[in-house]
Amino acid sequence: MTLARTAAVPTLDPGIAWDALVIGGGATGAGLLRDLARRGMRTLLVDRSDLGTGTSGRYHGLLHSGGRYVARDRDAARECIVENRIVRRIASFAVEDTGGYFVATPDDPDDYVDAFPALCAASDVDCEEVDVTEVLRRNPTLNPRIRRAFAVPDAAVEPWALIEGNVADAAELGSLALPYHRVVGFDRSGERLLAARVADVRSGTEYRVMAGQVVSAAGAWGGQVAALAGAKLTMAPGKGTMLVFNQRMTDAVINRCHMASDGDIMVPVGTVAILGTTDIHVADPDHWQITRAEVDELLDEGEKLFPQLRRMRLLRAYGGVRPLYDPSETGTESREVTRAHVVLDHAPRDGISNFTSIVGGKLTTYRLMAQDTADAVARKAGVTERATTAQEPVPDPHGDGKGRYHWLGGRLAAHEADGGGDAALLCECELVTRSQLEEVLDRRWPCSLDDVRRLTRLGMGPCQGGFCTFRAAGAVADHAARATSDPIAIGDMTEQAMADFLRERQRGTQPIAHGRQLQEAVMTAGFHWGTLGLGSLVGTSPGSDAQR
């Protein structure tokens, strides 16, 4: 299967009447785009920012086996394991088959541990007790006092490749995803939404998008989108903070074998390991902070699994907001609300016949969430085609489509097979080559370096953009020079790209820096401000407070 490639960046053709409009370009939205497209509905997806910048781009990276839910929520556990198997099959390129363990630390109560295998069995979650010594041998930094270990089919999943693949699949069928297009309002007539008013965030141009059905997959922002349509939907966003460690101190997902709580999972995701997470209600999904206190709490919990954790190199902290739905519509504490996904039909709720929202859920079950939603939407539209998304593979945006799992060493091996060397590497930490970067710029320009990061992993290694930002900015300048010969414009564009990226990268370092990462931050800042005169390029212009 080949990827459809548009020669130029797609723009909105206001003449098209879409069968469906999907709002929100996270995993669910992308999955929905694919599902609806496969059912023959010509669908447009819009997101106010780049694809995968909501919760999907800020989650833990875990493809759940369901083991985490076997005690509290058997239905969720069962859903997880079923979808786990499906995602492994249809999108193996985005999945690293890390496997996972539930380990019993001294802090984990016997009754839970003893019951665990049976609980897993009851939910059809594969679970096998393994020799603790073997687990410790493979993971020498794990708590040596763990007394039992169970293997489960947890895995790590990379969200942006998954989203890209879903979108590419839909594009083959004439559907389209448009980042940086924000819904600013609807034209409503009686019971129907006739059109959505969509603004191109970068140019300011507004369009009217005619769509037969409107679906909100806006996650934590679902309430805001619903409000634009005149519907009532109260979300109870729950912030989760995660810590990114420089090294994979484990090659398998490690879970505490206890009733699920904060800071009890370590997931190897690509070249890093991510510890999570917390659960704190926030009023506004766009405005919140990560505090050192939260970081300390996570480290305290994480030390129960990895006693040396505070000595390991912590790269950054980031947070994501869970799209939790509050059925009571009071916006209460997120701990009380359900994590299950819910498809909301706004016809009976709000008297809008062609508006549907999908809320709740987790990335592992994105395909099922999309399917359930697509079922509802298709029914409303009178479309009888059934879903095929569980059977058909998602195209691999970067690879050879051979259906292999993602291999940690893949990028290095590919580069080495090309002869290796650093001349072509713009981001050395993550092995991003100049041509890879230019290819993304070709496809997505105008875009930010953060957008490039999502598709390449630029700046996600130990230097956190300290070295590569400038190289990437150079590539941006070259790219911009194709469209304009005005040096001022090029200079401004390049500076903007540089400044935005540096700011975003360093935001994640501030709450956590100690030890080597603190040294790294100060050293790189030293040569930025000192040697390279960054101060002459970026003023003290206030950045946005939003923790985006």
Partner 1 sequence: MPSADVAVIGAGLAGLLTAVRLAENGARVVVLSEGNGALHWAGGPIDLGFRPGARTAAAVVGQLARRRAHPYAVLGADVAPALDWFQRLTGDLGLPHAGSLSGGFGALPTGIGGIRPVSIVPEAQAATLQPWAPGERLVIAGHAGYKDFWPRAVASSLARPEVWGGFSRPDRVVGVALDWPGLRERRNLNALRIAEHFDDPDWRAAALDVTARGVASTGSGPVRVGLPAVLGLRDHPRVLEDAIQRFGAPVIELPLVPPGIPGIRLHDVLRAKLRALGGRILIGERVARVEVTEATVTAVATEAATREVLTRVGALVLATGGVAGGGLVGDPDGAIREMVLGLPTDGPPIERWLHGDPLNPASLPIAGAGIRTDEALRPVDPRRPARGPLFGNVRVVGSLLAGQQWMIDRSGDGVALASAWRAAASLAGTTASATRSSRTTEAVR
Partner 2 sequence: MTIASVVDEALHETVGLSTDECLKCNICNEVCPVARVDDRFPGPKYVGPQAQRFRLAAPVPINLDGRPVHSPDRTVDWCSGCGWCTTACPAGVKIAEVNNRARASMRAGHRPRLRDWLISQTDLLGRFGAPFTPLANWTLQNRAVRWLIELVLGIHRKAPLPLYAGRSFRSRFKRRGGVLGRAGEVDLPPPDRAVVYFHGCAANYYEQHVADAAIGVLERNGFQVIAPPQNCCGLPMISNGLYPAARSKARHNLDVLAEYARLGYRIVGTSTSCTHTLKAEYAEMLDLHDEDARAVSEATWDICEFLLDLHEEGRLDSGFGRIDLDLPYHAPCQLRSHGIGLPAMDLFALIPGLRAVDMDHDCCGIAGTYGLKKEKYDIAMRVGEDLFRRVEASGAAETACDSETCRWQIASATDRPSRHPVEYLAAAYAAADAAGTAAGTAH
Verify binding: residue 426, partner 1, rule CB under 8 A.
yes
* Full DSSP string of 332-355: --GGGSB-S-EEEEHHHHHS-TTE
Verify binding: residue 188, partner 1, rule CB under 8 A.
no
Stretch that binds partner 2, among 146-154, 205-213, 346-354, 415-423 (CB under 8 A): 415-423
| The only residue of 410, 478, 495, 548 in contact with partner 2, by rule CB under 8 A | 410
Verify binding: residue 520, partner 2, rule CB under 8 A.
yes
Closest CA to 151 of 71, 255, 72: 255
Considering CB distances under 5 to 8 angstroms, the limit depending on partner class, which of partner 2, partner 1, none binds residue 308? Answer: partner 2
Considering CB distances under 5 to 8 angstroms, the limit depending on partner class, which of partner 1, partner 2, none binds residue 503? Answer: partner 1
Verify binding: residue 313, partner 2, rule CB under 8 A.
yes
CA atoms within 13 A on the CB side of 233: 37
Considering CB distances under 5 to 8 angstroms, the limit depending on partner class, which of partner 1, partner 2, none binds residue 313? Answer: partner 2
Verify binding: residue 510, partner 1, rule CB under 8 A.
yes
| The only residue of 375, 428, 478, 495 in contact with partner 2, by rule CB under 8 A | 428
How far apart, in whole angstroms, are the C-alpha atoms of residue 288 and residue 458? 25
Q: Which of residues 233-272 bind partner 2 (CB under 8 A)?
A: 246-249, 251, 271-272
Verify binding: residue 409, partner 2, rule CB under 8 A.
yes
Torsion of CA 114, 120, 122, 125, to 10 degrees: -160
Residue position matching structure tokens 């030390």:
303
3-state helix, strand, coil in the chain (%, to 5): 40, 20, 40
How far apart, in whole angstroms, are the C-alpha atoms of residue 409 and residue 454? 19
User: Smallest distance from the beta carbon of 501 to partner 1, in angstroms?
Assistant: 11
Q: CB–CB of 529/487 below 8 Å?
A: no
User: Smallest distance from the beta carbon of 103 to partner 2, in angstroms?
Assistant: 17
The number of residues that bind partner 2 (CB under 8 A) is 41
Strands 43-46 and 176-178: parallel
**Helix ranges (DSSP H) in 324-467:** 346-350, 366-381, 410-417, 434-444, 449-456
How far apart, in whole angstroms, are the C-alpha atoms of residue 55 and residue 519? 30
Q: Which of residues 306-325 bind partner 1 (CB under 8 A)?
A: 310
How far apart, in whole angstroms, are the C-alpha atoms of residue 397 and residue 406? 12
Verify binding: residue 532, partner 1, rule CB under 8 A.
yes
Stretch that binds partner 2, among 4-12, 106-114, 133-141, 232-240 (CB under 8 A): 133-141
| The only residue of 161, 209, 431, 455 in contact with partner 2, by rule CB under 8 A | 431
Considering CB distances under 5 to 8 angstroms, the limit depending on partner class, which of partner 2, partner 1, none binds residue 431? Answer: partner 2
Write the burial class of residue 55 (CB in 10 Å: 0-12 exposed, 13-18 middle, 19+ buried). Answer: buried
Closest CA to 266 of 416, 94, 60: 60
Joined together, the tokens standing for residue 239 give 């912030």
| The only residue of 7, 283, 417, 423 in contact with partner 1, by rule CB under 8 A | 423
* Partners of residue 157 on adjacent β-strands: 95
User: Binding string to partner 1 for residues 468 to 497, with x set by CB under 8 A, is what?
Assistant: --xx-xxxxxx--x-----xx-xxx-xx--
Binding site for partner 1 (CB under 8 A): 292, 296, 299, 310, 419-426, 434, 467, 470-471, 473-478, 481, 487-488, 490-492, 494-495, 498-499, 502-503, 506-507, 509-510, 513-515, 518-519, 521-523, 525-527, 529-543
Binding site for partner 2 (CB under 8 A): 138-141, 246-249, 251, 271-272, 308, 311-313, 404, 407-413, 416-417, 420-422, 428-429, 431, 461-463, 466-467, 515-516, 519-520, 523
